[in-house]
Structure 1
Amino acid sequence: MHSPVSTVSSHASTASVPLFPTTVPAPVAALLSRLPAFPGSALLTTALNVSIARQLPSDVGALLLNKRLRIRVTDARVTFDFTWTGGAFAPRARHAEIDLCISASAHDFLRLAQRQEDPDTLFFNRRLSMEGDTELGLVVKNTLDALELPVLDLQQWAPRQVLARLAALRPGGFPGARP
């Protein structure tokens, strides 16, 4: 069961239309499941390194050191394997044995990143699961709760916003880009 999604209402009717689907459509998931896993893991670890790595407490880093971690996006049928090397997160090749796997739908991971959903609520509603080393899972969850993480704002990735940021970086800007 998924939580309600953002909706747009018409003034003429009370019907609402979801802005984003709550699950990845099956044809898209079938395509995603055929893609190589390593590039996705590299993108995830880059995001983790930018947002989390510098804030990671040393005791948590010691516990995570060389652990085989996996994020599984259930409805998209993709997995991201990675590890903590002591100074940064690094992608790993897919391996049968892992220390901790955290699973949820793409929608639920997005809501977590946007701070619109609490991990405990998702866990107790069986929409987020952790498999493997339970102690490690609790440490990861508690650490993420304690860190000052940026809230994922999808609006900042709209094409116009991205072009405006690129234009600001380049002398003379890009034609047609408005700040």
Structure 2
Amino acid sequence: MNQTFTIPRFRLPGLVAALGVHLPQWPHSLALASALNLAALAGLLPKESLAQMEGRSFLVEVLDAGGQACFAYHDGRFRPLLTVPAKPDLSFRANLSAFLQLLARQEDPDTLFFNRE
């Protein structure tokens, strides 16, 4: 019997975000930039797309966790940023469940966008 696991939509308790915003955010940036570099080395990220990212900054916010990760792509590598730029080139904001659904390829970005996720 083959069962697939689906990630339900959920929202972390407000206390998590209230505490999360007071924690250092640089570890998130370092972890995400490292993971993206590994994915690029493994060939999981299209080289054409990476070339278009050159010199751009990115911000990923996990709203219900109170965390954020900021990074840039420069000289062929993702690099963590210790401070958030005034205007990142691209910003993603969602709850943890939406990001997990994207990673699991359970939902596509358009569906989440139109559902206001």
For Structure 1 versus Structure 2, the TM-score category normalised by the shorter chain is: 0.7 to 0.9
- Flag the structure with more relative contact order, 1 or 2, with Cα contacts below 8 A and sequence separation at least 6: 2
1:76 and 2:62 aligned? no
Q: Which of residues 79, 88, 99 in structure 1 aligns to 2:77?
A: 88
Shift, 1:37, TM fit: 1.3
From the CA coordinates, give the structure whose radius of gyration is larger.
Answer: 1
Q: Distance in 2 between matches of 1:98 and 1:43?
A: 19
Q: Given that residues 62 and 86 in structure 1 are in contact (C-alpha distance below 8 angstroms), is that contact kept between their aligned partners in structure 2?
A: no
After TM superposition, give the deviation of residue 86 of structure 1 in Å. Answer: 3.0
Equivalents in 2 of 1:39, 1:78: separation in Å?
Answer: 10
* TM-score, scaled to structure 1: 0.55
Give the 5 Å matches for 1:1-179: 5=8, 22-55=10-43, 56-93=45-82, 94-127=84-117
Q: CA RMSD in A?
A: 1.9
Question: Which segments of structure 1 move beyond 6 Å, counting only runs of 4 or more?
Answer: none
- CA deviation profile, 1:24-52 (whole Å, cap 9, x unmatched): 21111111111111111001111112224
- Tell me if the contact between 1:49 and 1:89 (Cα under 8 Å) persists in the aligned partners: yes
* Structure 1 gap segments, 5+ residues each: 6-20, 128-179
State how many pairs are aligned: 109
Separation in structure 2 between the aligned mates of residue 53 and residue 39 of structure 1, nearest angstrom = 21
- SS in structure 2 opposite 1:69? strand
- 1:61/1:86 contact within 8 Å kept: no
- Partner Cα separation in structure 2 for residue 105 and residue 47 of structure 1: 20
Separation in 2, partners of 1:32, 1:122: 24
Residue ranges of structure 2 left out of the alignment (5+ in a row): 1-6
Q: Percent identity?
A: 39
